[in-house]
Each structure stands twice: as C-alpha cells, then as structure tokens.
Amino acid sequence: MSTSRVFVARLVGCSVFDPNGDRVGKVRDVLVVERTDASPRVVGMIAEVPGKRHVFLSIGRVTSIGSGQIITTGLLNLRRFEQRGGEIRVMAELLGRRVALSDGSGEAQIEDVAIEEVDIAEWEISQLFLRRPKTTASPFAKGPTDFAAWDEIKHNTHTGEAQSATQLVASFSDLLPADLANAMLELPEQRMMEVAEELSDDRLADVLEEMPENEQVDLLNKLDDDRAADVLDQMQPDDAADLIAHLTVERGETLLELMEPEEAEDVRFLLSYDSDTAGGLMTTEPIIVSADATVAEGLALIRRHELAPALGAAICVTLPPYEPPTGRLLGMVHFQRMLRYPPNERLGALIDQSLEPVRSSTTAAEVSRILASYDLVSVPVVDDNHRLLGVVTIDDVLDHLLPDDWRSTTDESASFDDTSTRPLTIVQQKAIRAGRTRRGTS
C-alpha cells in the first residue's frame, strides 16, 4: 500500500481505478465491524459505480490507497450493497457520535476516523479525531480537538438519542441534489432523517425533487408539519403539487394552509389540472417580461443562479399583468436569438412567430410529440383567452414518461466478480451458532 494510515473523511469522493487506470467508481463510505479484543476491523468500502448504484468493495481487493485515489484488482461485485447486521458505516454512523474518554477527562464527539494497515490486506481503526465541548460562550468558537485510540473511549449514545449528523452533512456538501438523494436513500432510516433535519430547507427541497415518489412521501411524512411546509415552499410549484397529490387529503390541506400564501396559491392552481395534461405538467414560474424589455434585461434574468436550465432557455413575452395568468401571450424569445442582437434591442421584436403554445387541456402525449418534433426545450401553456399559465419543460415531460422507479432502475444482473464476499460479523457468527444449538447440531 502506498499509505499505511488515512482518514476516512478524506477518502469519501476519491475515485476508484482498476489496474489499467480506468475509473470504475468513487468511495462513499468505509465499512467496519467491531471486535471484542481489538479495534474495529475494516471489511471494505461502499463505492458508487455508474448508474448511481452503491456496491461493496472488499478491502482485500484494494491494492493501493494514496494521492486521492484507490487502486483495485479490477474485480468488483456489482450487486447492490446491502448492510449486514453488525456492520458499521463510518461516515454515516460513527461520525458525530458522542463518546466519553476512559481516563475520565470528559466527553467528546467523533469528527473523523483514521484507518491503518496492520498487515497485508488487513486494516483497522487506529485513531479517532475528537472534538471536545467548547470552553467559551462565543457562538463562533469551537472546542479543542484531540486524538484517541478506540480502547480509550466509551460509547455513551443512549437508545433513542440522535447522533449529530453535522459532519456527515458537511461531507455531502459538494454532491449534486440527485447524488445526495441517492446517498441519503442508502442510509439507515434513522440516520437519513438526522441528515434531513440538518439540511437547509432549500437543500432538502432540491433533494426531495430527485427522489422517487414513494421515498418523497415517506420522508415528508416523517417531518413535522411546519418543517414540511417550509420545504414545500422551496420546491418548484409543479414538484410540490405532485408531492402533495400523493399525500392524504387531510395532510395535504394542512400543509397548504401552513405554506406561504403565494406559494400555496400556485400549488392549488396546479392541483386543479389532471396530472397527464399540460396544465398538470407545467411550472408556473417561467421568466415573463414585457415587449419593451431589452436583450440586456432578458440575459440578466437568465443569469440567475437559482434558475433551472430548461426555464432559462427562453423568455415569455406577454401583455400585463406579468404573473400567471398573465395578459395575452405575445410569444417566446430563445436565449440564443438574444445573443445575436445588441443589448438595447427590444425583445418584442425578437419573438419566435413559429412557436405555437398549447392549451392547458392538451394531453401529455401531445406535448411530448411537440417538444420532440420541433426540438424544443419548453413550450408555453395558455388558457382559452390566450393568457400565459406556465410552461412545460422537457424535464417535466421526461419525469412523466419514465417509469416511477427510473431513478433506482439499474441492471442488477451485471457482475464482474461473483465470488467476492464479506467475512461474517460477530453478530452473524453468534446467530449461526445459536441456530445450530437450537437444531441440536454441532
């Protein structure tokens, strides 16, 4: 091995390569099992491979750890990872745990874990990086740090006491919402909820939008009403409407009452349409301007970092008012067309006359055909008076057309190494011995 000791937090996100130098995945966590007479033994890593699938990488398959990368023998078992009894995820379950020092010097919180190679392909936890309670009342101060061996601490987490998820959330900070959603769904249920509680409302809203519907509903139902309403406020109206539609009528109405009135109004508006129509698919927050707005003003609106790319592809030009339902829709101006004209050019002169809007009752299938036939990213939706109600974007259509479980659908049969197995944990060994005793065998 190129490195004999490494901290787990630094491993997360590191690329995994085969002997030929081809990248096969990236590390998401390290898996250990406790021992009665020694520090916990590392059994492997949880790696994310293409398709967002998490698989088990046996530590015996790792030939090198160093320089921000992991080299393997090239043999990977691509069956989806499932945690066994007695196994502990370092990032998900150890970081943030409160412990007491055996020397009586007080309590501390685990902020990182060092693993060390003690023999060929044999790794164990060698040190814990601890954060002691802060000694001043300043909100900006942090407590002193310390190192300790595994046998120098006592785990004092009581049943039902939530462990801090702050460190785990920090390690997820660079993940895109879709990747964070997958990472959270791989966590034990209690730990997933701890992470959800640590996330800001807007970050959790982004994550919820990337989860399958069933998981969205399950997670939202575990939040208290006030937090759930705050998160729904941060979601795109169409996504919030889709989620509320899958709740019970009573819970949905409760959350709508708690939401910001303006956000709740948009959601109620969308809930009035059938889910398989343009009205049910559209979002009510496109960029809307007057015909007198200039190219410079339009590009400034598109540059907003919180704007979804599909919504930034074109600007809607209408008569007043400029909130859906607007005045009469005059047309749309695509951002590429704006780039070809000087900043002071009026957008009313650049409208695409060939693009016809769809009615709110237009079927999802017809909207899909229009987007595909004319290579569009979005299409405006109008009412019978030609007032703009919203736009349907290509991602709205894809979400509707793809199967409900598309986010988690992968080829489970693929496997490069069907012989890769994990050693039995102490819990499993005891269970086997207990089963043999009950059957009267040896």
Averaged pLDDT in 10-residue chunks for the chain of 442 residues:
75 88 90 85 90 85 84 80 82 85 87 89 90 78 86 65 59 79 83 86 90 90 93 90 92 94 91 90 92 94 84 94 93 94 95 92 92 91 95 86 57 42 48 41 38
State pTM to two decimals. 0.59
69, 3 in Cβ contact below 8 A? no
The architecture in CATH of the region 5-89 reads: Roll (2.30)
Quote the pLDDT of residue 262: 87
pLDDT at 432: 41
In this prediction, residue 426 carries a pLDDT of 47
pLDDT of residue 293: 95
Architecture of domain 92-155: Beta Barrel (2.40)
Per-residue pLDDT at 238: 86
Confidence at residue 310, expressed as pLDDT on a 0 to 100 scale: 87
DSSP secondary structure letters along 244-303: HHTS-HHHHHHHHHHS-HHHHHHHHHHHTS-TTBHHHH-BS---EE-TT-BHHHHHHHHT
Residues 399, 394: Cα–Cα separation, whole Å: 9
Distance CA 177, CA 154 (A): 36
* Of the candidates 124, 8, 57, 73, the residue with the CA atom closest to the CA atom of residue 422: 57
In CATH, 288-399 is 3.10.580.10: yes
Identify the residue whose tokens are 């190679």.
117
Specify the pLDDT at position 162. 43
In angstroms, the Cα distances linking 406 to 50, 279, 336, 372 are 14, 23, 32, 20
User: What pLDDT shows up at residue 184?
Assistant: 86
Boundaries of every domain in the chain:
5-89, 92-155, 288-399
Ranges assigned E (strand) in 120-253: 122-131, 145-148, 153-155
* Contacting residues for 172 by C-beta, under 8 A, at least 6 apart: 180, 183, 195
